[in-house]
Structure 1
Amino acid sequence: MSTYPPADDRLRHLIAQRINCHVDTWKLAFFIADAIRDDSDVCREIDRIGAAHAVGQPCGDRNCRSCFTITVTGVDS
Structure 2
Amino acid sequence: MRPSAGITFGGRYELSSRIAVGGMGEVWKASDSIIGRTVAIKILKDEYMGDPGFLERFRAEARHAALVNRGEII
Instruction: Tell me the TM-score normalized by structure 2.
Output: 0.33
- Larger helix proportion of the pair: 1
Structure 1 or 2, whichever has the larger Rg, is: 1
